[in-house]
Structure 1
Amino acid sequence: MNVETAKTVLAVTQDKELKLILEQALKKDRAYRYHLCGSSKEALVRLESHEVNMLIFDADIGEDPKAGLPIKMRLSHPHVARVVVASPRKLAEADALAKDSAAYIFITKPVVVSQVRLTIKRALELSELSRRHRIVTRELKLSVDDELFDEDRRLSVSGGISKFERLVYASPKMADVVAKAKAASKTELSVLITGETGTGKELMAKAIHFNSSRSESPMHVQNCGGMDETTLRAELFGHLAGAIPGIAAERLGLFRAADGGTVFLDEISEVSPAFQAALLRFLQEGEVKPVGSDSVHYSDVRIIAATNRPLEELVANGSFRKDLYYRLNGFGLEIPPLRERPEDVEALAEFFLEKYAGVVGRRVLGFTSEVLAVLSRYQYPGNVRELENEVQKMVAIAEQGGYISERHLSPDLAKLRFSERLPQGLDVMGGSLKEMVESLEAKIVETTLRKLNWNQTQAAQELGLSRVGLANKIKRYSLAEQGA
């Protein structure tokens, strides 16, 4: 199994013996990627940073079992397989934790390597079977459910959806970018990621880090926008106690804290000329000189920078150093806006649906084909972040066990749906405003019914009405099916 298909196992423990057993079971097996965390807080950061397939949680870690990480993950990350480990004195707590978190199993210490390997293998197999069962069940259900979805489903068991850690995509454009990012992750070159706000530049940076040889070392993130030069320099290079007015404590700085790892600098286009010179010096020599100090330290850090502005233009007008630009652009990646890759919209929408349905503990069967069509046509000025917000809101108001339909769309998307459904050359009759509105409403209702072959259930759903409400409008406007 290659690295791209390897399953990621996240362990939370402080037990030295258990750490050793887990390393022996996983470290040299290419079927797995293994990450160790010393606390639930640290593990949550990992979970949000990259794709995790399995959690091994040590109940002896000393945290409140009722608010334990496995219980939280049952809602926030329902598809991650969970295993609880505990010492004999913690059996009762481990049993309760395993039940409350719907864990695959709990095992008691001391554990042996073969036991760990078999447990992990079986838990992941069951998780994969459950995933396939959900997809097959949904597709079989849809095939007899009033054609709510198009017959040709891309999200099938063998569908064309891909992931690069937390990045989800289906379009050829994103596939090309991800292929370059995977190549970049195998090098030590600096990476410059460009793209509009909300396209996923930070997720791309984290995916590169976690697929690089530096993945076991820290990754720190710093947004350079809206910060004055002194504060930004102190955040990255550190400062001595009292060197910054109002800050008494000494600060190590992200460059030294991330030694051996990666620092992601977002909005790099916003930094001052003086800071550009300091950053260039760091990239060339690895020198870190804290604010207020005469001492020079050295740090081995890979820089991944991002910007939503074209740096070439800033270089041309002299506001960004050319030599720094070439240093940062060792490997250049441009993430296209979502409107240029509509193939990704459905894949992302399904991903966010599962994510937020798990968070709120709600079973939502999926999107209707009309909703997917509207989502795919929208231009998304806020890109993927805007789509995520839209899906989150729709999941929040969707009915338990139902579909997300057009009545759940936000006003901006509903306007798009409404405007694209109006018949061409619509003549509005009547003299007063009330008469014109009623004329328009009658024609919209009649057009919708005709389009759906007078299926009143589907028409009511599309118009956001109840069956009774639609029947009242049909009677009010004396509408009748042709040939009836």
Structure 2
Amino acid sequence: MSNDSTSTILAVTQDSDLRMVLERALKRDRAYRLSIVSTGREALSRLESHDVDLVICDSDGAGDQKSVLLAKVRLSHPRLPRVIVASQRSLGEADKLARDSAAYLFLTKPVVVSQVKLAVKRALELTELSRRHRIVTRELHLSVDDDLFDENRRLSVSGGISKFERLVYASPKMADVVSKAKTAATTEMPVLITGETGTGKELLAKAIHFNSDRADSPLHIQNCGGIDETTLRAELFGHLAGAIPGIAAERLGLFRAADGGTVFLDEISEVSMTFQAALLRLLQEGEVKPVGSDEVYHADVRIIAATNKPLDEMVARGEFRKDLYYRLNGFSLTIPPLRERREDVSALAEFFLEKYAGVIGRRVLGFTSEVLAILSRHRFPGNVRELENEVQRMVAVAEQGGYISERHLSPELEKLRFAETLPQGLEITGGTLKEMVEEMEARIVESTLARHQWNQTQAAQDLGLSRVGLANKIKRYGLAEKAL
């Protein structure tokens, strides 16, 4: 079971001897959580779901996938240490692979337990030292008099951002949700996750699975929305050959394929009453009856369901089975929308910045405090997904080695910010466009200052400006505090 002090090691190998050594070295140590996969494709999938701290890649086997995997990891996770393991016969290939992927080191087979322990410990120590060096360098790079950057940003070595796998948060509300989710992960009970679209329900479901005793078994995901009942039943329960028109091959179904693992059902509110009855049978008895078959099979699967609709209200209206609702609702988790946990905006923005800067190989130093203030005030109807898209776009247009500033915001966000700042009853007439814009800006600044009794720190924060930026505008427009 992982916790905040546990380091996740992702190993990619088809070598049973290496697997055994890795398990002996790391499996029983509470400081580590070991996840072993066989192919590069599986590894990339795990990297999207896990918060991984170190990758160990066996250069033998798996075809060319290992080079593709390491090349992608170097771009998408540039600060993730990579260790190559190679047999004596492939040292030349391993050396080239290590250089091409900027690996931390490569070990030669046969490796021993003490060697693995030392290599993992040193790689993780170096990563932590590098992280602290980046933070200290960044703090020293910023002048103490430069108000372009928020003096209260989380730049300390200890940090103020938490993670539950790939779920990033800083707010007490999300901390409470994650605490309950970690408890749910220790049980075998079904979990029902509610929340608006884009809040991260699937990420939470994956985190629960990968922190449960079923972590080494499959996790399968099915969106139940926008799909007809026959197709949905075939996908989940399976079907015999010819049972579905146009499909000749037999299908096992996700429930049986995930035997011993977890199935995540998104948009569970969209399923029909007849499908609900079949799902209830699975939850009660573990029974799976494929489409077109008279035979009943059994599957040991844990169900995690999610919806953006209030199922209790649907039950009251007779649109959802009460018995199924209570079965699914073993653990109930509600993810609040982003507008109700604004402390998470900066944390998520920084996370997405690092993610997408790595993907495109661009060095972006961070956000100005003005951009973070604007992002924090926006309501984000699309929630985390909307924020992620906004940051991805800003990273793409930002300058190499620079900061993301207001000019990198999307036009939509800039218009919303202007609309929120505009005082009521403001009318500008006459003059050129430039003159009218300047007069409008001057009156907005003056109105905001008056509202805050000329507290320039509060006014600057409200306007999304630095104190220096606000002082410059006061000087430019000749503004002065009016005597009472």
TM-score, with length taken from structure 1: 0.90
Name the residue aligned to 2:327: 327
Name the residue aligned to 1:299: 299
Pair 1:51 & 2:51 matched: yes
Name the residue aligned to 2:216: 216
Pair 1:482–1:250, CA change in 2 (3 A): closer
| 1:94 CA drift (Å) | 1.1
Q: Deviations over 1:104-129 (max 9, x none)?
A: 10111111111111000000111111
Name the residue aligned to 1:188: 188
Whole-angstrom CA distance in 2 between matches of 1:383 and 1:203:
14
| 1:188 CA drift (Å) | 0.7
Whole-angstrom CA distance in 1 between matches of 2:444 and 2:324:
59
| 1:153 CA drift (Å) | 1.9
Q: Answer whether contact 2:39 2:65 (CA < 8 A) is retained.
A: no
Pair 1:442 & 2:442 matched: no
Name the residue aligned to 1:314: 314
Matches within 5 A, 1:296-445: 296-422=296-422, 426-430=426-430, 435=431, 437-444=433-440
Pair 1:293–1:145, CA change in 2 (3 A): farther
Q: Answer whether contact 1:81 1:103 (CA < 8 A) is retained.
A: yes
Whole-angstrom CA distance in 2 between matches of 1:133 and 1:447:
44
Matches within 5 A, 1:37-116: 37-64=37-64, 67-116=67-116
| 1:34 CA drift (Å) | 0.6
Name the residue aligned to 2:11: 11
SS of the aligned residue for 2:320 comes to: coil
SS of the aligned residue for 2:220 comes to: strand
Name the residue aligned to 1:135: 135
Q: CA RMSD of the aligned region, Å?
A: 2.2
Whole-angstrom CA distance in 1 between matches of 2:78 and 2:35:
19
Whole-angstrom CA distance in 2 between matches of 1:480 and 1:205:
53
Whole-angstrom CA distance in 2 between matches of 1:47 and 1:2:
16
| 1:157 CA drift (Å) | 1.7
TM-score, with length taken from structure 2: 0.90
Q: Answer whether contact 1:170 1:347 (CA < 8 A) is retained.
A: yes
Whole-angstrom CA distance in 1 between matches of 2:329 and 2:352:
32
Number of residue pairs aligned between Structure 1 and Structure 2: 456
Q: Deviations over 1:420-451 (max 9, x none)?
A: 45567644231xxxx35233223256579999
Whole-angstrom CA distance in 2 between matches of 1:245 and 1:172:
51
Whole-angstrom CA distance in 2 between matches of 1:438 and 1:4:
54
SS of the aligned residue for 1:60 comes to: coil
| 1:65 CA drift (Å) | 7.4
Question: Percent of counterpart pairs with the same letter?
Answer: 73
| 1:415 CA drift (Å) | 1.0
Give the counterpart letter for 1:147 in structure 2.
D
Q: Answer whether contact 2:57 2:66 (CA < 8 A) is retained.
A: no
Name the residue aligned to 1:269: 269
SS of the aligned residue for 2:10 comes to: strand
Give the counterpart letter for 2:374 in structure 1.
V
Name the residue aligned to 1:158: 158
Pair 1:358–1:328, CA change in 2 (3 A): same
150-159 or 235-244: bigger deviation: 150-159
Pair 1:147 & 2:143 matched: no
Q: Answer whether contact 2:7 2:31 (CA < 8 A) is retained.
A: yes
Whole-angstrom CA distance in 2 between matches of 1:151 and 1:414:
24
Whole-angstrom CA distance in 1 between matches of 2:14 and 2:346:
41
Give the counterpart letter for 2:436 in structure 1.
L
Q: Deviations over 1:71-96 (max 9, x none)?
A: 21111012221101111221122111
276-285 or 127-136: bigger deviation: 127-136
Whole-angstrom CA distance in 1 between matches of 2:54 and 2:378:
36
SS of the aligned residue for 2:212 comes to: coil
Whole-angstrom CA distance in 1 between matches of 2:479 and 2:70:
59
| 1:259 CA drift (Å) | 0.5
Whole-angstrom CA distance in 2 between matches of 1:65 and 1:274:
43
Name the residue aligned to 1:471: none
